């Protein structure tokens, strides 16, 4: 059984803070119980303009967040109407109705 983290401390990195909000950088440092320290390379947040998600990643994130609230059928209808916006003049009205309807 794994032991949960006893503490977590957030520390500002002045170099990263100077770049904010134009850039969003972070680094993770984990101190292990055996004395080792693991440090990630500096990384930009995924999904921002300078480090965008792919269309598949964006769809996956949408489904992950939408389906628990809207359920699969409704979230799929919304996704389909968004995809249809460029070619189907009726899609916007259907999408608007679907989005504005209260969650079940």
Each domain of the chain, given as residue ranges in start order, spans: 1-52, 55-100
Whether 22 and 15 have beta carbons less than 8 Å apart is answered as no
- Residues with Cβ < 8 Å from 15, sequence gap 6 or more? 25
CA 68-71-74 angle, to 5 degrees, is 135
Which tens digits make up the pLDDT trace of 6-43?
677 888 999 999 999 888 899 999 888 899 999 999 99
Which tens digits make up the pLDDT trace of 37-90?
999 999 988 888 888 999 999 999 999 999 999 999 999 999 999 999 999 999
């Amino acid at each position: 059984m794994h032991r949960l983290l006893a503490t977590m401390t957030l520390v500002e990195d002045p170099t990263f803070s100077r770049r904010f909000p134009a850039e969003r950088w972070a680094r993770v440092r984990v101190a292990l119980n055996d004395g080792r320290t693991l440090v990630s390379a500096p990384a930009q947040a995924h999904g921002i303009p300078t480090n965008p998600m792919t269309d598949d990643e964006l769809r996956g994130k949408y489904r992950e967040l939408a389906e628990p609230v809207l359920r699969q059928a409704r979230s799929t209808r919304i996704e389909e109407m968004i995809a249809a916006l460029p070619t189907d003049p009726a899609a916007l009205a259907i999408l608007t109705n679907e989005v504005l309807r209260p969650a079940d």
